Amino acid sequence: MSGGQQQMLAIGRGLMSRPSLMLLDEPSLGLSPLLVQEIFAIIRRLNKEQGVTILLVEQNARVALAAADYGYVLETGRIVMAGSADKLMHSDDIKEFYLGQTKDNTAEATRWKRKKTWR
């Protein structure tokens, strides 16, 4: 089976028990962009048509926020930002640090400074 078929099978198996909540961990991992669109269309339909709450863990922030109502941004296990998906999608920090969009003038670009946690 292809990666997309495996993901659809896993989602289908999870739906057999008619859950009210599903946890999906990286459903787009290793899939082609076309299959990612298909999987996320299924996820949106499950939420809207069947009322299944989806707790989604996903590194592809753009796709995840497009499918979400609410989001959390985690770094090293801590919530660093939370809000509606629309608010997060339009946040300048999210655009720059997680969606890869930068300002035209690199001299004005924000520098991400992290505290070192290692010694």
Question: Which CATH architecture group holds 1-58?
Answer: 3-Layer(aba) Sandwich (3.40)
Per-residue pLDDT of 90-101, as tens digits, reads 888 888 877 777
Q: Residues 18, 46: contact at Cβ < 8 Å? A: no
Per-residue pLDDT of 62-81, as tens digits, reads 899 999 999 998 888 888 88
| Domain range summary for the chain, segments of one domain joined by + | 1-58, 60-103
Predicted confidence at residue 59, as pLDDT, reads: 87
Q: Residues 7, 34: contact at Cβ < 8 Å? A: no
pLDDT of 119 > 50? The answer is no
Q: Residues 58, 66: contact at Cβ < 8 Å? A: no
Task: Count each helix (H run) and each strand (E run) in the chain, helices first.
Answer: 5, 4
* Residue 97 tokens, joined: 């640090």
